Amino acid sequence: MPVSRRKILQQIGVGAAVGAALPALRGFALNSTGEGTRESFVRADQPARLATAADPVLLYRNENPYGPSEKVLGVLRESVAGGNRYPRTEYDTLIGKLAVLHNVKPEQIVLGCGSGEILGMAALSFLKPGKKLVQAAPTFPSLGKFAQAAGVEVVSIPLNKRYEHDLWAMLDAARAATGLVYIVNPNNPTGTITPRTDIEAFIGKLPSDVTVLIDEAYHHFVAPNTAYESFLDRHFADPRVIVSRTFSKIYGLAGMRIGYAVATPEIAKRLPAGFPNWSVSVVSARAASAALDDVDYVRLGIKRNTDDRQEFMNQVNARMLRAIDSQANFVMVNPMRPPDEVIEHLKKNHILIGPKYPVLDKYIRVSLGTPAEMPAFWRAWDLMPATDKMAM
């Protein structure tokens, strides 16, 4: 006899009751009619974990929930002992590896304390009152915040219906008095891509004094056979293009704060002006070098993310929810109920998800956790009272 969804949820319960129910939960899923199925709710090799006040499940900052590789962890531990010295050879080593990886000259690379610092450098170099920033809405907000703090006008153009950058509207906005255009590809918070060919055509039409920053923080998570192509994997011969990348995502080093930009030697020289040229720690630089060497771990990270994203979508579909097709390590979901309530409900259950986005105000953003973490998310989700989905 089928067990009703509500009954199952009551049986599962929260808090202490969840602990007792965990063994039974392994391999358990709810299908779209609310009946229990024995599918891939938790992978057999991953014991599910609890979300507690002291140890919440963090699905809010698009971090790599698996952390860095064992090899990188080893280098991190070793490098701490050298923390009494300022950087000496570490930057050159890392820049040399990045230059080989991207087939550019070392003088084309700028390191930053996270790619967030690169965004700050770009703001300081290319924006000033009278030279505005053009970006998408919604997109990663840091560059816009730097610009606003400097009294610079920010023009935010809504994504198009496919959640791509609306490049033609951005072009109109950038025709006059523009210092910088910011393109995040894949975009945060939507996880969507803007086709390479469209970006190329867009750049070709921009006024010659406008610089373009392409933020490829989530590059590694894009599924093959999409219209996406990195501007580092295949260079685009236009000196106005800067590409930023980070070690915070696929390499699992968000807390180590390290990222970089690739640009022409002239721009690379100009970018760090006004910033300390030693903001990357010795430990971070050495860890980043080791992470670049550990190509198997990068492959594993891509595979894990692909599987985790698919499993997330299976759970979304089982609940008849809607989600934006993501090419990143997070997904925007229409929860069919007010996002504020969902964020609050999950928080009470010690699950932290992304903030609300005014431009996509019916959606929430969920970063993908490990197979051991996600059951806690879905358990908390299923505790929410049913809604009238037709009304949303």
Ligand X SMILES: Cc1ncc(COP(=O)(O)O)c(C=O)c1O
Residue span binding ligand X (CB under 6 A) among the ranges 11-19, 76-84, 113-121, 294-302? 113-121
Stretch of 110-118, 156-164, 206-214, 317-325 contacting ligand X, by CB under 6 A: 110-118
Half-sphere exposure of 230 (CA within 13 A, CB side): 17
Q: Give me the least distance between CB of 13 and ligand X, in Å please.
A: 34
The verdict on whether omega for the bond into residue 189 sits within 30 degrees of 0, i.e. cis, is: yes
Answer for which of 166, 215, 294, 311 binds ligand X (CB under 6 A) is 215
Binding to ligand X in span 48-77, by CB under 6 A = 62
Q: CA 384, CA 324: separation in Å to the nearest integer?
A: 21
Q: Provide φ and ψ at 156, rounded to 5°.
A: -110, 115
| Binding of residue 254 to ligand X (CB under 6 A) | yes
Cα angle 244, 248, 252 (rounded to 5 degrees) comes to: 140
Q: By C-beta, is 41 or 260 nearer to ligand X? A: 260
As a whole number of angstroms, the distance between CA 40 and CA 215 comes to: 34
DSSP line for 41-81: SS-TTS------SSS-EEESS---TT-S-HHHHHHHHHHHT
> Least separation, in Å, of the C-beta of 143 and ligand X?
8
Cβ of residue 231: shortest distance to ligand X, in angstroms?
14
3-state secondary structure of 263: coil
Q: Is 116 in the site for ligand X (CB under 6 A)?
A: yes
User: Which residues between 13 and 52 bind ligand X (CB under 6 A)?
Assistant: none
For ligand X, the closer of residues 113 and 336 by Cβ is 113
Q: Smallest gap, in angstroms, from Cβ of residue 194 to ligand X?
A: 13
| 115 within 8 A of 140, measured Cβ to Cβ | no
**Nearest of 285, 252, 256, 241 to residue 126 by alpha carbon:** 241
In angstroms, give the least distance from the CB of 140 to ligand X: 4
259 binds ligand X (CB under 6 A): yes
In terms of CB distance, is 87 or 114 closer to ligand X? 114
Amino acid letter, 90: E
Q: How many residues sit in the footprint of ligand X (CB under 6 A)? A: 13
Q: Exactly one of 41, 60, 140, 231 binds ligand X (CB under 6 A); which one?
A: 140
Give me 75's structure tokens: 């280098």
Question: Considering the complex, what minimum distance in angstroms separates the CB of residue 203 from ligand X?
Answer: 19
Question: What is the number of other CB atoms lying within 10 angstroms of the CB of residue 113?
Answer: 19
List the one residue out of 289, 151, 126, 299 whose CA is nearest residue 213.
126
Nearest distance in Å: CB 40, ligand X: 28
* Residues between 157 and 196 that touch ligand X (CB under 6 A): 184, 188
Give the residue at shortest CB distance from ligand X: 114
Residues contributing to the site for ligand X (CB under 6 A):
62, 114-116, 140, 184, 188, 215, 217, 246, 248, 254, 259
